[in-house]
A and B are shown apart, each in its own frame.
Chain A
Amino acid sequence: MTAQIASGAPVNAQAKSSIFRRVLTNNTFWIFAIDIILIILFTAISINNTFISATNLQNLMSDSGEGLLLGIAIAFLLGAGEFDISLGANLILASVVSALLAIWLAPYGIAVVIVVSLVGAIVTGIVVGLINGLIVTRLNVNSLIATLAMLGIVTGVAYIVSGGTDVTGAPIALQDDFGVKNVLGIPLPFLVAIVAWAIACIALRYTTFGLHLLAMGSSRPAAERAGLKTNRKLVTLFMVAGALAGIAGFIDITRFAATNISGHTQDSLSAITAAVIGGTLLAGGVVSMVGLLGGVILAVILANGLVVIGVSSYYQLIVVGVILVIAVAVDQLRKSDKKVKLFAK
């Protein structure tokens, strides 16, 4: 998006010349550098270099689908200066609704089951997002607190809807024909997530949706003074986040053919971590979708790789913590190097 300036506005020389410096001060570069170092390390250590094998790559992709979807949701919200920690609960409720629909529609064939339970999950997610958005905008409740409250409410509703325990008996075809299905060697759940990610990248970068989202996160008063209907846009944004959580909930039941209502408690936090490590600012106004992908990949290769190379459970915790610190420290390094004064007339 380099602007072509007809005349009178010389492009800053510094910005153009030091590509090397720009790369080194780029957060996305560092997160992928860490990813690649870990991949090389795990591949070298694993027996027969099996970490990089086709099947393990499929494992990594399967594992990152849900995290990536929630990560997109959280990156959008953080970009607009908002939070949503009810995403994990939303995922659970969506998976419960989706599973119940799947059981109910099982006699009508797998196509009907997939379509309706996916739509059901998305609609559920959107409704929760709508409520989040209304609480934040109409009742003026800080989104951290509003979604914390909704975390409890939505979890409670999920338990009530499911009868207080995991929904059982979801059609196994959901798993066979979707959850563990590969298309061109790519697990279908990951394909869904990566397509959503690509759409999110385009929306963020090339549309008014993305621009307004970042404007609201960068300076809410500026966005309002520019005439943006910020409340309406925030509600929409929470609904988009809810829809993404809904898709993640659908993917969850397709992978396991069962709900997991006592799991997913850490999902929102993991998503926030992935987004922030990837360079999305907690303060809003800056979103890095490519960095988010790097952050999600980091989490997934650590969870998988440490087990593949046989690191014991207790040491895994320590290694994950250390890498997290390294990732964030590298980011700080980048910021201190950012004193690039571009004003020179």
Chain B
Amino acid sequence: MKTSELEVPRDARPTTDYVFRAEGLTKTFGHVKAIRSVSIDLMRGEVLALFGDNGAGKSTLTKMLCGVYTPDAGTIEIDDEIVAMKSTRDAEDRGITVVHQDLALAPDLTVLENMFLGHELVRGGILGAFGFLARREMADETARALERLSIRLPSLSIAVKDLSGGQRQAVAVARANMWSRSGILMDEPTAALGTIQSDIVCNLIRSTADTGAGVMVISHDIPRILEICDRVIVLRHGEIALDEPIGSLTRTDVVAAMVGLTGVDPENKEDNK
């Protein structure tokens, strides 16, 4: 049985100021060039929004960045090293964790159990050899992780299926934050949520980045994400159509880039803010 040691990710001093740095990523499926020579990087402590219409290549790009797909061409650099990731597990080992749209939580398990699933702490000595769980330590660690992100849950020993959608998303984010050393990729974090819960999750994304992690958010919820992100990348037909700091970017600018009306129109900026 696998034993995992107590990791406190935030304490680790970053060796680089970026989470990953990808150059010239290309992926082709048959005749379809899904991603054409895309260069993208994610900095620590920033929220990077990745927008794009359906089929623009967001999910293909994300899957290359978390080890699900291998790029046909291009490189991904993490910690000053060109890496070849073959699975999400590899990506996790490199410090990048993904929060999937369907959350990837086990609904019948408790918050605590989900937080540590696959990374359980076991007791010392002979009990540990038999895989006995160190629940007290895991509970303390979970409480701290939730506290750090100001997440409030009714109990840690409540089954995830008894939580609301927003709370589940919060647990998923907290889980990713706890196990990623440097970066979190989030796929549509607000897709299934109501207004208030979406706002809560967005605040959570911001506070996650404020703890020092780099967060890349893939979303269709443009206005809400624009509120919290530091930088925006828009994909169109597998290429980058826009890559700018948030500055004075508006929803119109993003949509314009998504549909191919390139360039920023200064005239409309104030109206759409």
Contacts and interface: CB of A to CB of B under 8 A. Distances in A.
Interface of A: 1-12, 15, 206-209, 211-212, 214-215, 217-219, 221-223, 225-228, 284-286, 340, 342-345
B260 interface: no
A227 B106 CA distance: 13
Interface string B123-163: 00000001111011001101110110010111111100011
Contacts, number: 133
A343 B107 contact: no
B177 to A, nearest CB: 15
A302 B5 CA distance: 50
A93 B167 CA distance: 50
Contact of B167 (A3, A207, A343): A343
B117 A3 contact: no
A222 B157 contact: no
Given A227-B89, A343-B154, A345-B152, A4 B1 contact: no
Interface size class of B (residues with CB under 8 A): 35 or more
Contact of B147 (A4, A6, A209, A225): A6
A285 B110 CA distance: 11
Interface string B95-116: 0001010111111111011100
A8 B114 CA distance: 19
Contacts of B88: 225, 227
A206 B158 contact: no
Nearest to A202: B132
Interface of B: 1-2, 88-89, 92, 98, 100, 102-110, 112-114, 117-120, 122, 130-133, 135-136, 139-140, 142-144, 146-147, 150, 152-158, 162-164, 167
A32 to B, nearest CB: 22
A73 to B, nearest CB: 19
Contact of B117 (A2, A226, A284): A226
B122 A208 contact: yes
A7 B113 CA distance: 19
Q: Is the interface of A mostly helix, strand, loop or mixed?
A: loop
Given A6-B143, A9-B143, A207 B130 contact: yes
Contact of B155 (A15, A208, A209, A284): A15
B140 A226 contact: no
Given A8-B152, A211-B120, A221 B131 contact: no
A9 B156 contact: yes
B92 A11 contact: no
A69 to B, nearest CB: 21
Contact of A3 (B104, B109, B118, B143): B143
Contacts of B157: 1-3
